[in-house]
Amino acid sequence: MRPILLQGHERALTQVKYNKDGDLLFSVSKDHVICVWYSQNGERLGTYNGHQGAVWTIDPNPSSTILASGGADNTIRLWDMKTGKLFKTWDFPTAVKRVEFTEDGMFVLGTTEERMGHLGTIVVFPVNPDIEGEQVNEPSLRIVCETKKKAVVAAWSYLGKYIIAGHEDGSVSQYDGKTGEQLLNVPVHERGMLIMDMQMSADKTYFITASKDKSAKIIDVKTLNILKKFETDTPLNTAAITAKKEFVILGGGQEAMNVTTTSARQGKFEARFYHKIFEDEIGRVRGHFGPLNTIAVHPAGVSYASGGEDGYVRLHHFDKGYFDFMYEVERTRAQH
């Protein structure tokens, strides 16, 4: 599995994401620039320029026409994916850490930081799929988080029914997707341990969280029951669920601020593959020389990309051995 090294950013990566078709890969970093690449060969297609600060998050809409991004310049921006033209900017009092479209692309959510007297919020905007058309100025829904309990990450469930949010205190909330009413709040990770990443399964019925408490968990969207637990020996920044194979990929490593004081072998800058159902570690992929900040898996499960604090995106196409790998029980099951 020879990776393609994507050298387009000058600073630490914050998020990478495939579009729904899987032919494009978007990456954002602290260097203010959004890049888009061909996922097949790693060729850079273009950039989206305009953010005035670190870009924290990115999401292409399902039909691959609109790109939403959020950043430290306190904005959510909508871009024409094809031309790179910025056509809408929503301003906030604080930085935006996460944006995500609904399955149908009709709504986009964003999470804003708690800072300088402003509480953390989750906002929802309806999106007009016509790029030339008018976009709303005000959110259709605004969920305000309790103090010291800002939502770090958030995602839509299937059919936009719920909004799931991971909080800085290690708990996960379920909100009604229409009314914003909080339905559930479950402490999932160790108290006070930041939830760094949350990614939905393909059908958005379950999701995986990654936390600084060194564990990742698979949780049922409906009940917020913990289904699976993956324990590692390093703080985690990201977790992704693979399509096609029943795996998860976890990434993390020594805190960036501590890296200089420890050797590379201490850093644990590896992508770790675990079996989603058996919770066993299957393998690791080395390469980054900083902690892994973000991992994304191709929607068809043929490749994955990881973005590191080291400023590189590493794009890996899985080889035959990966697809052939199967536990004995899975094999017998598959034969039946």
Q: Which residues bind other proteins (CB under 8 A)?
A: 158-159, 161, 203, 205-206, 220, 222, 227, 233, 246, 262, 265-266, 276-278, 327-330, 333
Residue with smaller CB distance to other proteins, 92 or 162: 162
Q: How far is the CB of 43 from other proteins (least distance, A)?
A: 21
The distance of closest approach from Cβ of residue 184 to other proteins in the complex, given in angstroms and rounded to an integer, is 17
Q: Is the Cβ of residue 82 or residue 333 nearer to other proteins in the bound state?
A: 333
To other proteins, the closest distance from the beta carbon of 99 in angstroms equals: 23
Written as one letter, the residue type at 149 is: K
Amino acid at 314: R
- Residue closer to other proteins by CB (options 2, 336) is 336
CB 228 to other proteins: min, Å: 9
Contacts (Cβ under 8 Å, ≥6 apart) of 31: 9, 10, 11, 54
Least CB distance from residue 277 to other proteins, whole Å? 5
- Which pair of tokens denotes residue 322? 């990966």
CB 147 to other proteins: min, Å = 31
Query: Smallest distance, Å, CB 141 to other proteins?
Result: 19
Query: Would you say 91 or 203 has its CB closer to other proteins?
Result: 203
**Residue closest to 100 by CA, chosen among 72, 60, 42:** 60
- Of the pair 38, 93, the CB lying nearest other proteins is at 38
Q: Which is nearer to other proteins, 113 or 213 (CB)?
A: 213
Cα distance between residue 114 and residue 133, in whole Å: 32
What the block records as the tokens of 186 is: 């479950």
Q: Which is nearer to other proteins, 320 or 336 (CB)?
A: 336
